[in-house]
Amino acid sequence: MLPEPVWTVYKTTQIESGKFYFGVHKTRKPDDRYLGSGKHIKAAVKKHGRDAFHKEVLFVFDNPDDAYTKEAELADDAHVSRADTYNLMRGGTYSQSDKFGQPGEENSQHGTTWITDGKADLKHPSGSPLPKGWRAGRAPRPEFHSQSVWVNHPSGERRRVSEGEVAALESQGWRRGQRSKRGRLTWPQVREIRRLNSEGVPQTRLAEQFKVSQGNVSLIVRGETWVE
């Protein structure tokens, strides 16, 4: 255990298939059991079990900027467009769920929260008085997401890519498509999602079963969409 946290850039590989994932992790123990918080890598670990994966720490940095810069070099557009990667988006940019998945001090955002003044978004120490004119906010959407599209593979895999990558992926069997739309579900399906979730079925499994995003399932079970 190190006296101060470091930022590791790591590679997690599914041993049998060779499919792999690049990520950044803040920790005081570089050789810990953390395998990744991306949606696809988490689903794969849940499906195959931890022992089916090998993690290799590639670089260790004393600050997050250098770590995410290195991740951006590894998980570039070419990497994300590959069929043998679990990465859904380019390195160096990250969603709230990707970066904030670990609890406590292992979470690089432990003790902070997002605030906004309607024009900008900033991190702020949790529990501290808000500056005048500021209020609680949400993590800003990564710029890459606003400039990208979803593509789907016949195998069921979905990936967000830049517009310029679509043509090349279409030649490999991918098809342009939305991640999820309300119109793809019916009221009986929505009620079944709520029933199964109330009985303990995880949202990730429901998303796979009904072929919608986990975010869509979350909104449904919380009653924020499909209000009866």
Mean pLDDT of 60-89: 84
pLDDT tens-place string over residues 193-223: 999 988 888 888 888 888 887 778 888 888 7
Strand order in the sheet with 148-152: 158-162, 148-152, 175-176
pLDDT confidence of residue 94: 46
**Verdict on whether the full-model pTM lies above 0.85:** no
122 bridge partner residues: 115
Instruction: Give residue 181's identity as a one-letter amino acid code.
Output: K
Phi, psi dihedral angles at 88 (to 5 degrees):
-95, -20
Cβ neighbourhood burial of 69 (10 Å; 0-12, 13-18, 19+): middle
Percent of the chain with pLDDT over 70: 78
* Domain spanning 1-106, CATH class: alpha beta
147-to-89, 141, 150, 191, 212 alpha-carbon distances in Å: 12, 11, 11, 34, 21
pLDDT tens-place string over residues 110-122: 566 778 887 776 7
Q: What is residue 227's DSSP assignment?
A: -
Structural domain spans, the chain: 1-106, 182-221
pLDDT tens-place string over residues 58-73: 999 888 888 888 888 8
Top pLDDT among 79 and 224 is at 79
Percent of the chain with pLDDT over 90: 15
